Structure formats: structure tokens, C-alpha cells
Chains A and B, each alone.
Chain A
Amino acid sequence: MIKIKNLKASIEDKDILKGIDLDIPKGEVHVIMGRNGSGKSTLANVIAGNEAYEVDAGSIEMNGDDITEMSIENRALQGLFLCFQYPVAIPGVSMAYFLRAALNAKNKHAGKEEMDAVEFLTRAKKILSELGLDDSFLKRSINDGFSGGEKKKSEILQLLMLNPQLAVLDETDSGLDVDALRTVAKGVNEFKNKDNSVLIITHYQRLLEYIKPDVVHILIDGKIVKSGDMKLVYEVEKNGYAWLTK
């Protein structure tokens, strides 16, 4: 699905990613864990094409296509989806308008017709109900006045509506209570299938109690220093990260 080779990236001349190699095959769930400042969110943003970051070396391939220089929107249209850690509030743009604009862009790219209003509403209402959100959520402005939980659920709503090939979840578990965490995890599990992939970026193991990863990577100072399975998560939980730098 996605192959990252020797990826180096910086922001305002500060090197953050110092040579990342990552291969996530179709149908797999990978996890990246690491301390604050290790480069986790930078990796998510660079994969999504955030122009605030400079790619200094390396490449990102998605389904065999080099997307390293690709525009943000074209990556999304290729099937990439970033669940934002801090989704921005956009007053004056309703969730419904936004979701329809995104779906229309996706359908247009795929050479399909625009989704009609009835189909859109039926699908959106079903997902909203699963996420424990009221239908009126669609009338609200994007993330404007949303609680922390609502913001993350809004990201999952978008994920399920757009149904991408690769979902990058940037600390989607942060700031959630147990119930909201369970709802978000349920949404991700509903999305996950053998034809798509998920990259979870997190600090904690708690989300991983609900979403079972295939591979776990540890990111330290802009490099993946160790990869393994769930056991690695428990080791980090027990011993922290220090032993991995020795």
C-alpha cells in the first residue's frame, strides 16, 4: 500500500525525520509509537503532503506511484486520509457542505457522478448514529465549538464517508474518555478490511486494546529503531523508551 524509503524531512531548517523506512502492505495495521518530539506527527503530516514541511531526501510510494512531490489533494484523491491530531475549526462551512465537497471531488476524480443528496444523507446518518452523534451534527460548522471527543468523532465520520485506502491516525486517541475511545476504535475497526491499511500514531497502548496491530514500530529521534509485534507495546509500556536507545 505505502512504501517509505529513507525519508528525511525538516521544518524551518530543523531536521525532524532522519531516514524513515516503512512498508505497510495492503490489509495491515501498523503502529508507530514514540516519545513527544520524536517526529511522529511530522511523519503523518509529511505523508499527507503538508507544505509546511520540507522533504529533504527519500521517497513515499503509494500503490507503486511516487507521491513524494504530489499535491495534498491528489494524495487524498489517491486514497490517503489523515485523521488530524488537532482538527482546525472552520466557521461558516457546514459539515454537510464540506463532506459533500470532499465526496464530489473524490467521485469526480474516479470518473463517477456526484453522490445524490438522499444517498449522502442516508449514509451520513447511519454513520452518525454509530458514532453516537445527532443528525444536526451535519449542520454545524467544521469543528467549530466541537468538544475534544466530537472533533475526533468528526474525523472518523469523514474516514468512513470517504472510505480511503490508507488511514493515518495521528494521535486520534488523545484526549478521549473511555466511551469515546471505544466509539472511535469501533469506527476504525469498521473501516479496516483486507483491501485497505491503517497507520496508527500513538503514545499509549489503550487504543491498541481495541484495534489489534500487525506490526509495531518505535520512532526515536526521527528514525525507526525497532519493529515488532504487540509484545513491543507491552515492553514500552513497562520499561519506557530509554532501553531502546542504548
Chain B
Amino acid sequence: MLKKIQQDSHDKFEELGYPSKKLESWKFSPSKHLKKYNLINLDQSNFSIEQYNDKYTLCFINGELAKESLNNFIYKDGITVSDIDELDDSSICSTSSNFEQEAFFHLGISSIKSGKYFEFHKGVKFENPIHILNIYNKSEKDLRISSFNIFKLNEGNNISIIEKDINKGSGSFNLNLNKFICPDNTIFNHSMLYDDKTKSNYLGYNYYQLGQSVLLNIDSMNINSPFNKNFIEVDLNKEGSEAKINILNLANGDQHLDNNILMNHNAEHCISFQNVRNILDDQATCVFNGKVIVSHGAQKTDSNQSNKNLLLSNSATAHSNPQLEIYADDVKCGHGSTTGALDKESIFYLRARGINEKDANNILIKAFAKEILEEFFDEDIRSLSEENLNNWIDG
């Protein structure tokens, strides 16, 4: 089955070609530099995961699940793992119509060696979060590494996934494609932490399908990678579900950080929040493309979008594009965007109490970030993110 999907994606990529600035989703995003990355035949043979061999961790090496980590995985009895190729139902692999228009999505699908399908058993509630480590260890230059995984929850599941990247190689172009199926009465928390000092480029496509009375939290913090573009699409397909997205991006130098969020309200009585904050220094750039579509009949929708950008230098640039498309008449939808420097009055107030200018600035930067970090669902991730933030500020 996989071969057929890959062939279709290959054809689609040939048809679409690399994205240009004419596309809304790539209007403010550089893409030319991504063309130089080539796929090579990757293997895991010479890499030991021993140092990451935690019982709560699933390691993916160059996009492939490491068997050893699955054997050691504490929750392996609550989960069935199979190759996507072995699935009978090809509809499980289907993705959003928006991703279908994305050339890089197809490039990713056509490039994978294999993909995994994780199905959580009915009623399973794991006490601790599952850690997913994406490890890249190739030293060859200009590598493109792709992965495609599907996670299917079942009714009654309460699952948390914390995803991190570890780059032991020379820097690559990492294309991560994920689909998360969250049926009725499930809770799913997904944290993504990007902190890569090896100058890798990240492009993520994350698609979430929600049933009835689902609670979805997506948290993300992003520092250090020179290029990171993440597509998040959530389908609220049945009533009574709630999706919350909290993202904090920190960028300096020539970094480019980019979030593209689409929230599809397809059913009544659903709630969604998008809360994205960017802190930019030097010549860094960021993009927020956030969209909420409220379909006909999705009455009593309660949706809010907020994008706030803090510019620490005159050369930093923030592109903010919050959008609403509403086709129902009894909804509550709000969106807002602000971009600006640190508030001079606040700096004066703090300095007037004897706090030096640098510390005053840092207090205000932390306060700006903290409002996002406080919303992160996992306490450990909150602490780790706060530590990352402090390190970033201290330079």
C-alpha cells in the first residue's frame, strides 16, 4: 500500500514543484535553500541508542523507529505498532486537503523508507508522557531526512507525547509528517520542543482529527534552528471538543520561524485557542499564518486566535496573518495580533526601583514568554522551557 501512496505523492510533487512565494503558505518563507538537500539511503546500523534508552522513550533514528527502544518501552503492552505498509485500510493514511496541496508534504511521503502506525489500546491511560526522540546522526552534508507516522488513539485514552529532536549529525533538512487520530472521549497532549544548535532545517506537517468530546493540547517551543516551519491542522469533527495550541518561538541571528495553523470547526459546541508568541532579535523573521474556519452548522463555536510578537531589534521582522472564515451565525470568534518593542514605560518603572536596564529588559522578555509557558500542560516541559528561555536570554 505504501508504494502506491508514495508513487502518487511522487507524481504530485512533480506536478506542484518546489513552493514559490506566490503560495499563501510560503509568501514570507524562504524555500530556495531547501532544494539543495538530497535524500540518501539511511540506516541505523552503526548507532547505539543506549544513552537515550529510557523506558518512557521511543527513539527514531533518521526517521525510523529503533526496534531496541520499542522492546524497552514501558507501555508496549498498551500499544500496537505496525508498518504503514501492512495496513489494510488506506484511508488511515489520508490527510488534509491543504497538505495535499503542499509540495514538501508529498516530497516527504515519497522519500520515506517506511512509516509506523501506533494504535493505543482502548481505555489505556498512561501515567507518564511518552517521549519521542527524533535522532539525526548523519555527518554527510545536505541530507534530507523524512519520517511519516500515524498515531491512533481509542476511546477512553489519555495520552501525552513529548517530542524532541537530537541532532548528532552535521545539519540536515528534516521533514516530519504526522497524523493523529483522536476518536470520541479521548485526551491527547502533544509537546514539540525544538532546540537544535547544529543548523538543521525543520519542516513539520501535523494533522489532528478529533471526534466527540476530545481534549487536545498542542504545545511547542522553538529555539536555535535556523529554519523551522510547522504546519498544524486540526479538524474538530464532532461536538463538544476543545483544541488548545500554545507556541513560543525565540529567534535571533538569521533564524526563520514559521507557524501555519488551520483550525477547522466542523461541528457544534467546539472550542479552540491559538496562542502564538514570537520573540525576535537581530535579523530574525517569523511568520504566523493562523486560520479558523467555522463551517455551516458549527453553531456555538468559541474560538480565539492571538499572535503577539516582541521585536528586540530594529532589523527583526514579524509577519502576522490571523484569519477567520465564518459560515455559521451563532458563534463567538475573536482574533488579535500585536507586534512591538519592549514597553519603554515598563522599563522606566522597573529601573526607577533600582533594577538595571539589562535586567529590566530581561524581566519583561521573560514575562512576555511566561504567559505562554504557564499554559504548557506538562510541568517538566514548563520547567525545561523556562530553563531554555533563561539560557537564550543570557545568550
Q: What is the interface of chain A, defined by CB distance below 8 A to chain B?
A: 48-52, 71-73, 75-77, 81-82, 84, 87-88, 90-93, 97-98, 101-102, 105-106, 109, 141-142, 158, 162
Contact across chains for A106 and B354 when beta carbons are under 8 A apart: yes
Looking at the assembled complex, report how far the CB atom of A170 sits from the nearest CB atom of chain B, in whole angstroms: 11
29 contacts between A and B (CB under 8 A): A49-B352, A50-B348, A51-B348, A52-B344, A71-B357, A73-B351, A75-B352, A76-B354, A84-B349, A84-B352, A88-B343, A88-B345, A88-B348, A88-B349, A90-B349, A90-B364, A92-B366, A92-B368, A93-B363, A93-B364, A93-B366, A97-B363, A98-B350, A105-B359, A106-B354, A109-B354, A141-B367, A142-B349, A158-B353
Q: Complex: how many Å from CA A84 to CA B350?
A: 12
Interface size on B, residues (CB 8 A): 23
**Residues of B at under 8 Å CB distance from A?**
343-346, 348-357, 359-360, 363-364, 366-368, 370-371
CB distance from A60 to the nearest CB of B (A): 15
Known: A52-B344, A105-B356. A92 touches B367 (CB 8 A): yes
Question: In the assembly, what is the distance between CA of A98 and CA of B362, in Å?
Answer: 12
Leading 3 A-B pairs by shortest Cβ distance: A92-B367, A76-B354, A102-B353
Nearest chain-B residue to A97 (Cβ)?
A: B363
* B363–A72 touching, CB < 8 Å: no
Contacts of B357 in A (CB 8 A): 71, 73
User: Contacts A71-B357, A93-B363, A101-B359: A76 and B370 contacting too (C-beta < 8 A)?
Assistant: no
Contacts of B343 in A (CB 8 A): 88
CA gap between A191 and B366 in the complex, in Å: 33
Which of B346, B356, B370, B371 is A73 in contact with, Cβ under 8 Å?
B356
Most buried by A among B350, B359, B364, B366: B350
CB-CB under 8 A from B351, the residues of chain A are 49, 71-73, 76
| B344 proximity list for chain A (CB < 8 A) | 52
Residues in B with CB closer than 8 Å to A72 are 348, 351-352
Minimal Cβ-Cβ distance residue in A for B370: A92
Inter-subunit contact A102/B354 (CB<8 Å): yes
Minimum distance in angstroms from A11 CB to a CB of chain B: 13
Query: What is the bound-complex CA distance between A87 and B352, given in angstroms?
Result: 11
A98-B353 contact in complex given A51-B348, A88-B343, C-beta closer than 8 Å = yes
